[in-house]
Structure formats: C-alpha cells, structure tokens
Structure 1
C-alpha cells in the first residue's frame, strides 16, 4: 500500500465543520505513519476530477471529510477500485456513516479510527447501488428514493427563500396540500411489472436517508440485495400519522407499507424524479442494480 493517504475535504460541510474536522483527521493519519494529501475542489465536478486523479496516481486510501454529498462523490471515484474509503462524517445528514456504524460528528475519533484502519488494513467490503437513467450512471451507498419525498426535495430546491432546512419544511407543507398517490410501474429482478398506486418508493442499500429517517430500516449493506420500501396509496391523514414512525423504523409494520428484496429494480412513474444519497438524479424511469463488494470501507 502507498504511504500516502488522501483527505477529500468539503470545508463547508456542516456549516464549516468540514474545515475544522480535517485538522484532527490529518494529524491522526500522520501519527499513524502516513503522509497526507488534501483534495479540495472548486465545485463538485472539480473535486471529483481531482480525487479521480489521486486514485489513478496510486493513493493508499481516501478519507472523505464532510457529509453524505462528499461520500457520494468519493464513491464515484472509488467504486470498483482496490483503494479503501474512510469517512469523517461532519455533515448535516451523515446517513452513510450511520448505516456503516461509523462515528457521526466526532471528527477526532473518526479520524483516529480511519488512520488505524489504514495501518492495520481493517477493511469491510460493502455493496453499492448502480443507478442508470437518461444519459447517466451513478453509484450510491444509502437510499434511492422517488415519490412524495422527491417532490418535496424538488420544490425545496426551487425555492430561493427561506434559507436552510426551513424551506424544506415549507415545501413539505405545500406538497401535502397537493398530495396524491402516484401510479408506479415497478419491476423487481426479472419478474413481472407491478402496477400500483404509491406514495413513495425507496430503494435501500443502507437503512436511512434525510438525517436518520430509517425508511429501509432492515437494509444490510453487504447482503447483495436492496431493501425496497413501498409506501402505498395513503391518505393525507395516514401519511401524517405514519411519517413520524420512520425515525424508529416502525412504519414497516403498517398495512400500507410493503418491503421487497431484490438485486435489481426499475421504477417508472410520470412526472417524478429520483434522488440517491440525497443528490438529484433526474426524471424516472431509472434502473438500479445492487453490486456486491463494490467498495472497500475502512472500519
């Protein structure tokens, strides 16, 4: 293994926590006997290009410092390579770190764990989702979602004011006012098309999204299968009742909720977009495949 470790840093993650978290992570890596290379991009495409170059040039490991968006970028460069990934989770959601049992908003501890894992070659091979749509392919580590939640994200992303998460609360209220189930066509593996009315469909390699909402609570990231949570044709009142249960994963027992397990899924629905790892993908249809042991995780 190369004696260089690359820190992949989003300095703006978690309202500036990323910049501060990079310092203890770098110190821990140096104390473990490795040199440090820091990659910071001007924007997401530039950051990914710089990281891809570092991986191509032979870095020994990559430690992503930031939130789920930074981890998602790192996955695009590392999937299918022997270079392992560590995570110092200091973002807003941190669902990838939660799903993998890694420290959340403990940058010094997370940095030490990652540095020790590099030194001791402590690796866990985990699955990733590979999603394809109109003109793109992308890896994801946690949840691919569409339906009510993607409509809320779409609306929130179009709103310039207010700033922060409050705009998504307003977007949710607006979407609830116009709420209706959506007609989906769902294909699991090579089975028949399932035509159903659904509030949302979530495809989980990991268990949670949105900062701890355990939409696919029983998903296991190294079993070679997605957990597919389908929330059926809820009324507005039922949705409001079920929604708070998502944080504990208790919604899975509701009669309007169905869970499937599959290696591949195709989602089709008019007028809906998809998100993966919290990042927008584009309009349905999309097809996602679970790729076993796609990335090597430092644990």
Structure 2
C-alpha cells in the first residue's frame, strides 16, 4: 500500500537571514511539490501571526515548516504544540542553533527528503510565562547581548555573535537574582546570568549548557555567579569547548519548574528574542512537540 504523502504549510519569516528566507524555502518547496505533496506558504507579519498560522496548519493535519532562524522555529513550535501537529524546520536564519543541535541537513535536497520521509520524534519544550520555546531561556548578560544582536541585523552573523557579548559586558553589572527550582527553597544571589536550558545550544553554535538534552524530561538550570569582567571574557572563551561549566562561579541543577526574579528589570529572552518580563516562570512540558528530525 502506498505511503500517504505529507502536506506542508511553511511559516516564513521574511526578514530572516537578511531577507533571504524565501530563497532558502523555494527550492525545498519545488522538490516537495515534485514528490506530490501539497505545499502552502504563509509570510508572517508578527510573532502572534506566526503562532496563529502554525496552529491552524497543525489543526488541518499539515506539517508546520518553520522557515527562518531560532525565533521563527520557536513561534512555529508554539503553534504546532497548541494545534497538536508536527514541526519541520528549514534553517534560514543567523543562528539556527536548534537545527544544528538536531543534526538537520542544510541542502535543499536533504531537507526535502527529510520532510517527506524522515522520522518524527518527541522533544520537550519550555513554557515561559505562557510562551512555548523549544530551546533555551536566558536572563542576564546574554539576554542583553540578544537585544544588541536584534538591533544590528546589518552586521554579518558570525561577527555579530562574537561582538555583541563584548558590547554587553561593557554596560552590564551583576543583578540580584531570586531563583526557585521546583519545591526547593528560594536562592538569592548576585549573578551575571541565569539560563534555563532544554537544548543547551545558542550563540551561533555554542554549547552553553552541555548537559542539556532535548528529550530527557528535565530542564537544566545554569547560574553564572558574580565576578569581575575578566571572568566573563574567560567564560565566553571556554564556552566554545564547554569547559566553562567547571568554573567555581558556575552552578548547574535540574528540575521541572523554575521561577526567576531580579532586583531590577532584566530582559527575558528565549531562542533569539525577548519574550517576557520578570518574574518569569519556566515549566517543562515533556515530549510535547512532535518534530521531523534524524533519529
């Protein structure tokens, strides 16, 4: 008996990758159509519009294809979870960290073949004050760097992801955080950043939280405690190899729900965008997202 061909709705961020998202999508779409698939495309106007398009496509039984960077993947995943559907990814942004973590191909033929015939797997996602995010939440110097990145889209991606943390360091001062993991007592500390990780990967290929696994049913909490600016520079250098987690000011924990607040406003970012305000409650939703990805 013939296998039913999947139907697809691409949710495309027109500004991703310097405005080249459709150029990444079209050759993939042509191959999908040649294989007999029904293919639609939605040009997104906002985060809310992207989530709406993805939710509606999922409810129609179509694969939601996120075409863009990690922010577009986050919004499409949000809709796929709400609509009970399946997510596919065509990486077309600057960071593409979740696609890299999943081991997705980057060529049109490989992507089309994966979307048509690839297996599905269930991964965990994070609920951040009601926003679904499959990757990571970060609150501190790295979320300040994200603000700088998103205000500098004209700078080449690799250069920008290396310069933005340096600019953030120059204007950053440690905040007083209150962190609670599950039902444990609140912890108060001065720190540079708090990361709640699902994939553990961001910053254009950095494994910021190496122990994090997408489908282990746990979120990983990393706190980078107070220290001189020179420490932050060393931290960023060591993060390229993952050895930063052995520094004395770095602590790691796992849990299911984390609440974070601070003694001043600090951006709350998830997968490349500022998405919430403090206090932030991050809850793991285990195996909530069905995604097409290599086994």
Cα 1:139–1:108 change in 2 (3 A) is same
* Native 8 Å contact 2:124 2:286 kept in 1: yes
Q: Secondary structure at the match of 1:251?
A: helix
| 1:114 corresponding residue in structure 2 | 115
Specify the alignment match of 2:90 in structure 1: 88
Match of 1:26 in 2: 29
Match of 1:78 among 70, 77, 80: 80
The residue that corresponds to 1:128 in the other structure is: 125
* 1:291 counterpart (277, 285, 295): 285
In structure 2, the CA distance between the partners of 1:155 and 1:297, relative to structure 1 (3 Å rule), is closer
- For these two proteins, the number of residue pairs brought into alignment is 287
Runs of 4+ in 1 over 4 A off after TM superposition: 165-174
Whole-angstrom distance in 2 between the partners of 1:289 and 1:199:
22
CA distance in 2, matches of 1:221, 1:232: 25
| Secondary structure, counterpart of 2:211 in structure 1 | coil
Deviation at 1:194, TM superposition (A): 0.9
The alignment's TM-score, normalised by the length of structure 2, stands at 0.88
Whether the 8 Å contact between 1:176 and 1:236 is mirrored in structure 2 is yes
What are the within-5 Å matches in structure 2 for residues 175-190 of structure 1? 175-190=168-183
Question: Does residue 227 of structure 2 align to residue 225 of structure 1?
Answer: no
1:190: how far off? 0.7
Q: Distance in 2 between matches of 1:279 and 1:264?
A: 21
- In structure 2, relative to structure 1, the CA distance for the partners of 1:31 and 1:271 (3 Å cut) is same
Per-residue deviation at 1:87? 0.7
What per-residue deviation string (whole Å, max 9, x for no partner) do you get for residues 231-267 of structure 1?
Answer: 1112111111111121222211112211111111001
Structure 1 residues 19 and 210 mapped into 2: Cα distance closer, same or farther (>3 Å)?
A: same
Displacement of 1:225 after TM fit? 0.5
**SS in structure 2 opposite 1:248?**
coil
Cα distance in 2 between the residues matched to 1:235 and 1:194: 21
The more displaced of 196-205 and 3-12 is 3-12
Moved more, 187-196 or 275-284: 275-284
* 1:265 counterpart residue number: 258
- Counterpart mapping for 1:4-153 below 5 A: 4-56=7-59, 58-103=60-105, 105-117=106-118, 122-132=119-129, 137-153=130-146
**Alpha-carbon distance in structure 2 between the residues aligned to 1:116 and 1:20:** 23
Query: Do the aligned partners of residues 169 and 211 (structure 1) sit closer, same or farther apart at CA in structure 2, a change above 3 Å counting?
Result: closer
Whole-Å separation in 2 of the counterparts to 1:4 and 1:194: 48
Q: After superposing the two structures, state which structure 1 stretch, 175-184 or 254-263, moved more.
A: 175-184
CA contact (8 A) 1:80 1:295 kept: no
Task: Answer yes or no: is the 8 Å Cα contact 2:66–2:72 preserved in 1.
Answer: yes
**38-47 vs 244-253, which deviates more?**
38-47
Tell me the secondary structure at the aligned position of residue 287 of structure 2: strand
Structure 2 unaligned regions, length at least 5: none
CA deviation string 1:71-118 (max 9, x = no partner): 111012111544211111121000111222222x4333222211212x
Q: Name the Cα RMSD after superposition.
A: 2.3
